[in-house]
Amino acid sequence: MTLERKTRLIGLYLFLGFIACIFVLPIIFMVMSSFKPDLQLLSDSSSMRAFLPVGEIGLDNYRDAFRRAPVGLFIFNSVFITATTLGLSLFLASIAAFSFVFIEWRGKTVVLAIIIATYILPFETVAVPLLLLVNNLPWLSTEGVTWGWLNSYQVQIVPWIIRALEIFLFVQYFRDLPRDLVESARVEGASWFQVYRRVVMPLSGPVIATVAILKFLEMYNNQFIWPIMVVQEEGLRPIMVGLLYFFQLNTAWGEIMAYLTIITVPVLAFYLVLQRAFIASIASTGVKG
Amino acid sequence: MASRLTQQNRAGWLMAGPAFLLIAVFLIIPFFMAIGFSFTNQRLVSPNPTEWVGTANYERLFGLAVLTLEAERDEDGAVRTKDGEPVFPSLRSYTRNKDDHPEFYRKREWFSFGRGEDRRTFVLATDVVFLKAVRNTLFFVIVVAPLQAAAALGLALLINRKVRGINIFRTIYFMPVVISMVVVSMLWRFIYDGQNGLLNTVLDLLTFGWFEPVDWLGQTSTALPSIMAMSIWQGVGFHMIIWLSGLQTIPASLYEAARIEGASRWQTFRYVTWPGLRNTAILVMIIITMQAFTLYPQIAVMTGGGPLDSTQSIVFQMVERGYGRQDISGGSTISVFLFLFVLSISLLQRWLTREK
């Protein structure tokens, strides 16, 4: 390697590292601050000590955060809502896409076109009328038929199950599968549902991972505007809305950083372990868009 | 054969039906409800029956009037001034006088500009806060979309090379994308803080103490730009990945040919890379624009629309009315406007970036 090449390479790494600092330092600051008492947190922020685990390090902020708000309950709510929506979404989106790709039925081109067209309809543009709609929907429970979905789990789950993107991703993937597999299974007498379950789904690992990751991020990270509108009952709120508990007159930054760390670190860990799948899932939203 | 077809019809509808039903009930029907409600006075709960009000909701949102006033003069005919500024007749005599000036009735001053020494034009609006929200959102989109797309392309080009450890940098640049915007907004409230903020500390260190601390979110001139910078920080990794997958579809043979022809780095980008990214560019711009138009959590967590309405956004106003004041018709009118806005911008972008 020539000297010139070497210097250029070092320059490149310095530049890459500088940009990496911009992305990673705020996150390091968040985690470090969650272990510091408020006074020290504030004084540390005027120097590079803000990014280091120095001084009085402890878990007091975590204890206080759990005292201030039902953090465990919020985590349970978010995990429950995310998992249920994710499961239903994977099932209903994939089986619908299966029907669009492999079965001939009257009206399917129109139905698929309508579904794809809703891609340009951001949720925000329907949130207000949907608020009125869910306030008047029936629900079957152990107490019989009840009216109005406000303050419930279903109001946070059912409207989010299906989006055009998920069906679209499955359709794209199924179109590239060899059709002979489906044909021969049908000739052997398998029902459509058996073909879906035994032949197509076992081959669909990559697209299932993609949809699962996108849905997970949407449900765990971005449930904010809708639950604020439809859930006033504390016990049913998800973690992002739980953050509102920490808006007090005297902002306790240590507790806030602890809460932010609790809700972020699992996602970050998940991302670092499965980063290839995460990045592939984002990339696939761009293919053939 | 006929029975086979009906059987296929039944199976097809049965399998696609639930998904279609959910999309119809929770996206398509509410969308048409929004259009319908925007012509009524629908409220979430009301003892009175809902009434058809025509275009009143739209007129209230977009009611504008322009009024040019002459400065007041004293007996000698000289312009009266106060603190060196000419004095104008009170706007209230126009906006509170239904009989003489119905076109100005109940409007408020949005902004004004002077025309010469003694005249000033006032732009009056029925709903000043909403118009400020539209202006801010548009400003946000116009700045963030190209900046974020360009920064993401820059990062994608930077990491699209084969040197050792490049994957580590890709992983780090993408990291903020998996963090919730709600979390990011809360974290950056501290970073932007005027007294203890990290950003002031870092700028102070980098300039060896020359930098005067700024209360980034506390003043009208820096609040919205600060939110823009943070939004780009959070989202740029997402679009970097989309650009990167676009870059990887460009065949290596084209680069090889460019190298043999002795093309410079810029020429290679201009004539090989950029033409190959055309479709990716359309997609990136549409995604960023749609995300930028629905600006909400940053505002709700960081500023609540302040200071002095300088960070109001369309969606923030929509929630404020539709949910906060339970004014379903008012919120729906804003929703319809937002949809038309998003639609026309994406059509415009498609047209601008069309194949020539």
B242 vs A128, A229, A283: nearest CB: A283
Q: List all residues of chain A from 155 to 174 with a beta carbon under 8 Å from chain B.
A: 158-159, 161-164, 167
Distance CA B180, CA B183 (A): 5
Nearest-Cα distance to chain A for B40, in Å, is 12
Say what angle helices A253-273 and A60-68 make with each other, to 10 degrees: 100
pLDDT for position B349: 75
Q: Which residue has the higher pLDDT, A195 or B205?
A: A195
Which residues neighbour A54 within 8 Å (Cβ) at sequence distance 6 or greater?
A44
Confidence of residue A288 (pLDDT cuts 50, 70, 90): very low
Q: Dihedral sign for Cα B287, B293, B298, B301, please.
A: negative
Half-sphere exposure of A125 (CA within 13 A, CB side): 22
pLDDT for position A289: 41
Nearest 5°: CA angle at B186, between B185 and B191? 85
Helix, strand, or coil (residue A144)? strand
Cα separation values, A75 from A71, A240, A287, Å: 6, 9, 34
Beta partners for residue B73, in sequence order: B79
Q: Average of pLDDT values for B61-72?
A: 84
Least confident of A268-282, B92-106, B289-303: B92-106
pLDDT for position A283: 84
Closest CA to A51 of A7, A93, A21, A96: A21
Q: Which residue has the higher pLDDT, A131 or B80?
A: A131
CATH 1.20.1440.230, domain A71-284, yes or no: no
Which residues neighbour A65 within 8 Å (Cβ) at sequence distance 6 or greater?
A71, A246, A255, A258, A259, A262
pLDDT for position B243: 92
B15 vs A96, A133, A264: nearest CB: A96
Taking the alpha carbons at both ends of chain A, their separation in whole angstroms is 42
Least confident of A30-39, B87-96, B141-150, B190-199: B87-96
Q: Which residue has the higher pLDDT, A77 or B6?
A: A77
Q: Average of pLDDT values for B344-348?
A: 81
ipTM of this predicted structure: 0.91
Closest residue on chain B to A164 (Cα):
B23
pLDDT for position B21: 96
Percent of the residues in chain A that have a pLDDT greater than 90, as a whole number: 55
Confidence of residue B2 (pLDDT cuts 50, 70, 90): low
Distance CA A157, CA A63 (A): 31
Q: What is the mean pLDDT of chain B?
A: 87
Contact (Cβ atoms closer than 8 angstroms) between residue B143 and residue B228: yes
Percent of the residues in chain A that have a pLDDT greater than 70, as a whole number: 97
Q: Do A92 and B169 touch (CB under 8 A)?
A: no
Q: Do B12 and A272 touch (CB under 8 A)?
A: no
Nearest-Cα distance to chain B for A184, in Å, is 16
pLDDT for position B234: 95
Contact (Cβ atoms closer than 8 angstroms) between residue A19 and residue B171: no
Answer whether A282 touches B (CB < 8 Å). yes
Contact (Cβ atoms closer than 8 angstroms) between residue B93 and residue B45: no
Confidence of residue B64 (pLDDT cuts 50, 70, 90): confident
Beta partners for residue B81, in sequence order: B86
Answer whether A73 touches B (CB < 8 Å). no
Say what angle helices A275-284 and A205-216 make with each other, to 10 degrees: 90
**pLDDT surpassing 60 at residue B28:** yes
Q: Average of pLDDT values for B46-71?
A: 85
Supply A224's token pair: 């904010």
Q: Which residue has the higher pLDDT, B145 or B286?
A: B145
Percent of the residues in chain B that have a pLDDT greater than 70, as a whole number: 97
Q: What is the pLDDT of residues B196-241, one digit of tens each?
A: 888 988 888 888 878 888 899 999 999 999 999 999 999 999 999 9
Helix, strand, or coil (residue A52)? coil
Length of chain A: 289
Confidence of residue A2 (pLDDT cuts 50, 70, 90): confident
A115 vs B23, B205, B334: nearest CB: B23
Supply B353's token pair: 């970036």
Distance CA A270, CA B27 (A): 31
Confidence of residue A112 (pLDDT cuts 50, 70, 90): very high
Ramachandran angles phi, psi of B113, nearest 5°: -140, 145
pLDDT for position A250: 67
Q: Average of pLDDT values for B27-43?
A: 93
CATH of domain B129-325: 1.10.3720.10
Nearest-Cα distance to chain B for A223, in Å, is 9
pLDDT for position A47: 81
Peptide bond into A227 cis (omega under 30): no
In chain A, beta strands by DSSP E: 138-141, 144-147
Q: Average of pLDDT values for B344-352?
A: 79
Helix (H) / strand (E) containing B36: helix B29-37
B175 vs A27, A103, A240: nearest CB: A27
Distance CA B68, CA B17 (A): 60
Residue numbers in A near B347 (CB within 8 A): none
| Domain map (residue ranges) of chain A | 1-58, 71-284
Highest mean pLDDT among B35-49, B271-285, B327-341: B327-341
**pLDDT surpassing 90 at residue A121:** no
Q: What is the mean pLDDT of chain A?
A: 90
Contact (Cβ atoms closer than 8 angstroms) between residue A184 and residue A200: no
Contact (Cβ atoms closer than 8 angstroms) between residue B32 and residue A213: no
| Domain map (residue ranges) of chain B | 64-125, 129-325
pLDDT for position B115: 77
Beta partners for residue A141, in sequence order: A144
Closest CA to B238 of A150, A282, A143, A273: A282
Closest residue on chain B to A259 (Cα):
B183
**pLDDT surpassing 70 at residue B87:** yes
Supply B58's token pair: 């739209």
Distance CA B145, CA B140 (A): 8
Nearest-Cα distance to chain A for B229, in Å, is 12
Residue numbers in A near B242 (CB within 8 A): 282-283, 285-286
